[in-house]
Amino acid sequence: MSKYHSVSVWYNGERFDSRKECHRWQELKLLEKAGQIKNLRRQVKYELIPKQDGERSCDYYADFVYDENGQTVVEDCKGVRTDVYRIKRKLMLYRYGVKIRET
């Protein structure tokens, strides 16, 4: 259990950070099978700030990324919106022009 009371779960050999995230994955898989979305992926890495002198890069890992109606959707399954997440959400918009869809 994490400090935010989420419990990681395993489904079809894959680990999910929460039951909510696992449930959303199952929904998205059905939507992909029905042809409503395409190119569904998990844990897609976006570099927000590159590695600099003695510092690691700052990355954001999207829970889900998929194509819907010709647009790429970056989705995050959130229970608690931490300060770090809020900053990374703003950096995604600034750097990539991507507004994260929160579920």
In the chain, domain spans: 9-102
Phi, psi of 52 (to 5 degrees): -130, 175
pLDDT band at 4 (very low <50, low <70, confident <90, very high): low
Give the pLDDT mean for 1-19.
81
**CB-side neighbour CA atoms (13 Å) of 8:** 9
Task: Render pLDDT for 21-51 as a digit per residue (tens, 0 to 9).
Answer: 999 999 999 999 999 999 999 999 999 999 9
